[in-house]
Amino acid sequence: MAKTSDLRAEKLFSVKDYVCVVTGGGSGIGLMSAQALAANGAKVYITGRRNEALGKAADFHGPTEGGQIIPIGPCDVTKKADLERLHDELASKEKHINLLICAAGISGTKAEPDQEKATSMKDKLWKNETFQQWSETYNTDVSSVYFTTVALLPLLQAGTEIYGHLSASVIVISSMSGIMRESQGHFSYNAAKGGTVHLTKLMSAEFQKIRVRVNSIAPGYFPSEMTTKESGNDQKSQLPNEKVQEKGHVPMGRAGSDGEMAQAVLFLTKNSYVNGEIIAVDGGVLNVVSGR
């Protein structure tokens, strides 16, 4: 039975001495996640395709005390050779990892199905999307999550041997778009994120055999290079309230904050009694837009 003093937030959510890996960690939700973990004592390796972005993220946002944000890579998570290299480099530095966050992703192409005649709708959708674009979106948003997780499973299982049963885990950054029925004009992205949601459930069931948990955060509108198409010199993006309000289906009337994402990340990292869950952090969008 816990003492009251054991239930202080700094004890419940401390990740002191944890070793974490974040793909897509140079910007957006990946960087928010890395900051949350490092601020609470973790050593966080961030990886991605752009060394410059990773370096800037670490320089601007590394904590002054406690944890660390460390660039590693570059790594293209859609390539097995890069993932094998990532594993080997991590294994040369660390005996285990406690957490993998799969945050790398792309938005794919966009074509609004807003025509009232089938011939016009076909023409718009047919011309604006290709099989190759769909494949690229699926490979980056779904397949890479699977292969990244598989590549790092031995290091994750080693983490459970230090911190206890089901303590090591994977957090998949999916999307509210993978839960809703509206296409939002990007069928390929929403379909891929739906695949990511189900992949999370599959991996959670299968990988608990080796004592590794898998959960997912399904974000709504958060400032990132994906949502704003840019970031500043500090690798941070801005998403003004009015841009979110224009969408007409966000009850909070604003984008999510770094702190709100941090709370979700720390909860799933530390609560080993949660496995196979999809947690929407969406400002209430799914109360307005139909989900599945």
- The reported pLDDT for the residue numbered 130 is 93
pLDDT value at 291 more than 90: no
pLDDT value at 115 more than 90: no
Q: Which residue type occupies 239?
A: L
% of the chain with per-residue pLDDT over 70: 99
- The reported pLDDT for the residue numbered 163 is 73
pLDDT tens readout for residues 238-290: 888 999 999 999 999 999 999 999 999 999 999 999 999 999 999 999 999 87
- Asked about 243 being catalytic, the answer comes back as no
- Least reliable range by pLDDT among 13-17, 57-61, 222-226, 245-249: 222-226
- Asked about 33 being catalytic, the answer comes back as no
Span 168-179, average pLDDT: 97
pTM, to two decimals = 0.95
- The reported pLDDT for the residue numbered 286 is 95
For residues 291 and 16, the model is more confident at 16
**Distance in angstroms (rounded) separating the CA atoms of residues 76 and 80:** 9
| Closest-CA residue to 103 (of 254, 265, 228) | 265
Q: Where are the domains of the chain?
A: 13-287
Catalytic residue among 18, 138, 189, 221: 189
Catalytic residue among 56, 193, 236, 270: 193
- The reported pLDDT for the residue numbered 267 is 98
Catalytic residue among 167, 174, 175, 237: 174
% of the chain with per-residue pLDDT over 90: 80
Span 114-140, average pLDDT: 92
pLDDT value at 167 more than 90: no
pLDDT tens readout for residues 205-249: 999 999 999 999 999 999 887 777 777 888 978 888 999 999 999
Task: Pick one of 3.30.360.10, 3.40.50.720, 3.40.50.1970, 3.30.70.860 as the CATH number of 13-287.
Answer: 3.40.50.720
